[in-house]
């Protein structure tokens, strides 16, 4: 007998499956949850852009259209779609040598990767590959994400020490940092350590405290009060306004697709593994139904939204 958590064989495109029915009694709690999520996610996505090598504003854009599209077309009531460190690291590694980090061409290629990952997700739904998530070991997933986290952390040491970044691989970056160790910027190091203490300390006190947001706001206040821009690089102004919607401006060719396909496929696998594991865990905890295949559609559309 198949569980209701397994995949439906019929191809359907349900709308608002993860939202309806709406419990009016829970609306105040849902509103608070949304505000809390935004408070946590805003500083996080700003950090993810540092990993991916894209402008800061692109991280904020990933909280708009992609999140809304998955809420409409996804099946999970608890899964929230947005940027994450694993896919950001994969994207950055895949674009090494193809364009200058942070340039318009780089951002356009990142958008192409989002479209291609969406294509893999849609194809997986069409041929019913949602069940593949059942064969992805949680132990392997945790090990992979832990490894990515360590790699990302090692790659950001230069920023924490106020050094000039360099190198592509993790070992090259570490060697670059060691060569500049005498040039450590102590104000930058103090800010970095302070931010870490606030984030880790807040989580230990209560997981409901938005430690990341508090740390970012505190760092901004300290930077303004003590004019730290004179002693270390600062983010500066972030462009305002809504994102420009359109296809990426790149010279489309099969050669380009071939170069980006391995990276897009790696992103697809990580997206599938992370989303399925999270959806399954919460569905089991709250005894709610979800469909991996339906979520594939929602995830695919979310990636299309990110690419636009």
Q: What digits encode the pLDDT tens for the residues 169-210?
A: 778 888 888 888 888 888 888 888 998 999 899 888 887 787
Would you state the pLDDT for residue 219? 84
- Across the chain, mean pLDDT equals 82
**pLDDT tier, 143 (very low <50, low <70, confident <90, very high otherwise):** confident
Listed in sequence order, the residues at least 6 apart from 244 whose beta carbon sits closer than 8 Å to its beta carbon are none
**pLDDT tier, 2 (very low <50, low <70, confident <90, very high otherwise):** very low
Question: Is residue 112 assigned to a domain?
Answer: yes
Best mean pLDDT range from 32-36, 96-100, 105-109: 105-109
Average pLDDT for 41-66:
86
Question: Is residue 62 assigned to a domain?
Answer: yes
Would you state the pLDDT for residue 97? 86
Average pLDDT for 278-293:
75
Question: Is residue 151 assigned to a domain?
Answer: yes
Question: Is residue 1 assigned to a domain?
Answer: no
| Least confidently predicted of 13-27, 41-55, 248-262 | 13-27
Show the tokens assigned to 87. Answer: 């896919």
- Domain count of the fold of the chain: 1
Sign of CA dihedral 131, 135, 138, 143: negative
Question: Is residue 37 assigned to a domain?
Answer: yes
Distance CA 76, CA 265 (A): 23
Q: Answer whether residue 11 shows pLDDT above 70.
A: no
Question: Is residue 262 assigned to a domain?
Answer: yes
Q: Answer whether residue 1 shows pLDDT above 60.
A: no
**pLDDT tier, 8 (very low <50, low <70, confident <90, very high otherwise):** very low
Q: Which domain holds residue 115?
A: 27-185+232-307
**Whole-prediction pTM:** 0.79
Question: Is residue 70 assigned to a domain?
Answer: yes
Average pLDDT for 263-292:
81
Q: Answer whether residue 119 shows pLDDT above 60.
A: yes
Question: Is residue 2 assigned to a domain?
Answer: no
Q: Answer whether residue 245 shows pLDDT above 80.
A: yes
């Amino acid at each position: 007998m198949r569980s209701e958590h397994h995949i439906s064989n019929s191809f359907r495109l349900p709308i608002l499956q993860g939202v309806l029915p709406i419990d009016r009694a829970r609306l105040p709690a849902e509103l608070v949850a949304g505000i809390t999520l935004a408070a946590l996610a805003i500083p996080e996505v700003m950090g993810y852009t540092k990993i991916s090598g894209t402008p800061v504003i692109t991280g904020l854009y990933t909280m708009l259209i992609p999140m809304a599209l998955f809420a409409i077309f996804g099946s999970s009531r608890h899964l929230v779609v947005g940027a994450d460190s694993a896919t950001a690291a994969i994207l950055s590694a895949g674009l090494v040598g193809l364009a200058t980090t942070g340039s318009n061409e780089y951002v356009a290629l990142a958008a192409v990767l989002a479209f291609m990952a969406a294509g893999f997700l849609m194809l997986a739904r069409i041929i019913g590959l949602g069940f593949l998530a059942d064969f992805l070991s949680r132990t392997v997933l945790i090990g992979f994400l832990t490894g990515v986290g360590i790699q990302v952390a090692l790659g950001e040491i230069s920023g924490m020490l106020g050094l000039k970044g360099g190198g592509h691989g993790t070992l090259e970056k570490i060697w670059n940092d060691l060569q500049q160790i005498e040039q450590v910027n102590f104000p930058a190091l103090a800010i970095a350590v302070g931010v870490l203490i606030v984030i880790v300390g807040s989580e230990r006190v209560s997981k409901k405290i938005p430690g990341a947001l508090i740390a970012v706001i505190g760092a901004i206040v300290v930077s303004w009060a003590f004019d730290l821009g004179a002693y270390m690089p600062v983010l500066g102004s972030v462009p305002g306004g809504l994102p420009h919607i359109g296809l990426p401006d790149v010279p489309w060719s099969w050669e380009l697709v071939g170069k980006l396909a391995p990276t897009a496929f790696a992103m697809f696998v990580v997206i599938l593994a992370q989303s399925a594991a999270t959806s399954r865990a919460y569905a089991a905890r709250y005894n709610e139904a979800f469909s991996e295949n339906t979520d594939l559609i929602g995830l695919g559309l979310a990636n299309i939204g990110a690419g636009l």
